[in-house]
Amino acid sequence: RRLNGIYPDKRLAQAALRATRTGVFPLGAHGAGRFAKTGGLFGCNAYSGQGGAFRQIGDLKIAAFVVVNAMGVITTRDGRVAACFPDAHWPKELRTADLLAHFPASAKPGSTLSAPIEGDRRNTTVSLIVVNRKMTAAQLQRLATHVHSSMSRAIQPFSTEYDGDVLYAVATDEIES
């Protein structure tokens, strides 16, 4: 049974290519981030989407893109949950530590701190880092490791057994190191 009348095919791919604009990366609920959610591990199920950033330092250019569809919750720098549709009985100042302290018990029906994990979970946070610098394979792998590891500060917990997180790192070799 088909869930909707739109499915990826050659015509849809051509339409997507024609819709692209140089220097534009839509943020939020666009493209691959259209139905992305976070916090499913705790029942938050907040829509997240896709994000991007660009920085130029001299001749060095760095671009980062991500689609966040994580089981964990998005947190602020001080550990508060930034995006969640909380249960009415949850504390107003919800912290990731509160959710994790009661897990897995918090995943049981009737808990006031979390909703149960239901069904087959398929979550993936997909990231891309592009630099215009010439880099060896080892340097590029180290960059990818640092960037991917740093995501655990904002997504908690990160890379759970329900996630299929992946990060791609690309160097265009336009400038020397």
Residuewise pLDDT in 10s, the chain (177 residues): 555 566 678 888 888 889 888 888 889 988 888 889 998 888 888 999 999 999 999 999 999 999 999 999 999 988 899 988 877 777 788 888 888 877 765 555 555 554 445 555 678 899 999 999 999 999 999 999 999 999 999 999 998 888 889 999 999 999 997
Catalytic annotation present for 160: no
The 8-class DSSP code of residue 75 comes to: B
pLDDT of residue 150: 93
Catalytic residue among 124, 136, 160, 172: 124
The pLDDT, as a whole number, for residue 89 is: 75
User: Positive or negative CA dihedral for 69, 123, 72, 158?
Assistant: negative
Measure Cα distances from 136 to 15, 107, 146 in Å. 36, 45, 16
Asked whether 102 and 46 are in contact (CB, 8 A), the reply is no
The pLDDT of residue 114: 46
Sign of the torsion formed by the C-alpha atoms of 100, 40, 159 and 130: negative
Instruction: Please check whether residue 4 is in contact with residue 31, taking contact to mean a CB–CB distance below 8 angstroms.
Output: no
- Phi, psi of 106, rounded to the nearest 5 degrees: -70, -15
